[in-house]
Amino acid sequence: MTRKILVLPGDGIGPEITAQASRILAACQAHGLDVEVEEALVGGAAYDEHGEPLPAVTLDKARAADAILLGAVGGPKWDKLEDLAKRPEKGLLGLRKNLGLFANLRPAITYPQLASASSLKPELVAGLDIMIVRELTGGIYFGQPRGIEVRDGQRVGFNTYVYSESEIERIGRVAFELAQKRGKRLCSVDKANVLEVTILWREVMEHLAPEYPDVELSHMYVDNAAMQLVRAPKQFDVMVTGNMFGDILSDAAAMLTGSIGMLPSASLNESGQGMYEPCHGSAPDIAGKNVANPLATILSVAMMLRYTLGEPTLAQRIEDAVGKVLDDGLRTADISSEGMRTVSTSDMGDAVLAAF
């Protein structure tokens, strides 16, 4: 059965990095992977063409795909769009919501070859391997009511942070199951000393715990979690949290590793369909210059092979190829260091292909 993959290059460096990842995908096809690959527009690129960040044609193709590979969306060009619904980010948020991609897996791993690139002391990040599980289709990102309106003669902005028990339970199970397959420690992050919605969050996590007796569940307030990530990130195995806290903590954790240009992510729904994308953003400042790091996107293909396509052997081949080019001393500008060879986006793609 031929599976369908949709590539959404998006904005900024998106097209350059997905181009390299698509070459790896083609190499996998040459090695017997039975997939059909299509492309479509999303984000600012889609807005420019169709006046919408998530045109119906893109959404239809996304619905029909088994897996999606996304580059990145957004950029200053569209930041001034008055109508929030037209902004590039809404393309991404619309995909998440419409496809029910509620489980965002955001690994924060330090590549041994890159440990010195971290801003943290090497001993604090060497061997770091955290998995942050972020709820992606609920919370304050999607809560109603929301808006800006006039009250008592002045404008007031408001958003709603909301979770139901079933939403919390669903993401909780994903996190507990991942913890079972890893270090068996799960830290749930909330602000239960202030926010009612996270009191419920904590209760549901506690309620699930007896079903996973081999996993040790702990709770941490979000402010403390931010501190602990900075102080001693290796204390964590799996972390689970809501959409907004997850946005902040997963980016901070990724940056800690010094490997943010290397980190893929997966966003999964209940039927295993997934969207895969690099953790980094669209980096408009370096777009079009053939200097961006394509490795996070290439590794997103590996994650796709593992989580959606059930091809762990091909996934491993990609990961090994990336390891080899790093061992060989090749670096894009973002991860370059003394004594290493700084290469372009396409050179890096060439090198991974050659090592594949």
Ligand X SMILES: CC(C)[C@H](C(=O)O)[C@@H](O)C(=O)O
- Catalytic center residues: 141, 191, 223, 247, 251
Least separation in angstroms between residue 337's CB and a second copy is: 13
Annotate each residue in 127-156 with x if it binds a second copy (CB under 8 A) or - if it does not, as one string.
-------------xx-x--xxx--x--xxx
Least separation in angstroms between residue 28's CB and a second copy is: 31
Least separation in angstroms between residue 153's CB and a second copy is: 10
> Residue 251 annotated as binding?
yes
Exactly one of 85, 194, 227, 354 binds ligand X (CB under 6 A); which one? 194
Nearest Cα neighbor of 299 from 97, 40, 37, 111 is: 111
Partners of 238 in the β-ladder: 131, 186
Q: How far is CA 315 from CA 207, 289, 304, 310, in A?
A: 35, 28, 8, 9
Binding of ligand X by 85 (CB under 6 A)? no
Beta-carbon contacts of 102 under 8 Å, excluding residues fewer than 6 positions away, are 135, 136, 137, 138, 167, 170, 171, 268, 269, 270
> Residue 285 annotated as binding?
yes
Token pair in block for residue 92: 């991404």
Binding of ligand X by 223 (CB under 6 A)? yes
Q: How far is CA 138 from CA 98, 167, 204, in A?
A: 12, 8, 16
CB 88 within 8 A of CB 47: yes
> Residue 290 annotated as binding?
yes
Give the Cβ contact number of residue 145 at 10 Å.
8
Binding of a second copy by 64 (CB under 8 A)? no
Token pair in block for residue 256: 């800690």
> Residue 289 annotated as binding?
yes
Binding of a second copy by 272 (CB under 8 A)? no
> Residue 281 annotated as binding?
yes
**Is 311 buried (19+), middle (13-18) or exposed (0-12) by CB count in 10 A?**
buried
Residues 295-354 that bind a second copy (CB under 8 A): none
| Residues placed in the known binding site for Mg(2+) | 223, 247, 251
| Residues placed in the known binding site for substrate | 96, 106, 134, 223
The residues that touch a second copy, with contacts defined as CB under 8 A, are 74, 79, 84, 87, 89, 93, 119-121, 124, 140-141, 143, 146-148, 151, 154-166, 191, 193-201, 222-224, 226-227, 229-232, 244-245, 247-249, 251-252, 254-256, 260, 281
The residues that touch ligand X, with contacts defined as CB under 6 A, are 74, 89, 92-93, 193-194, 223, 247
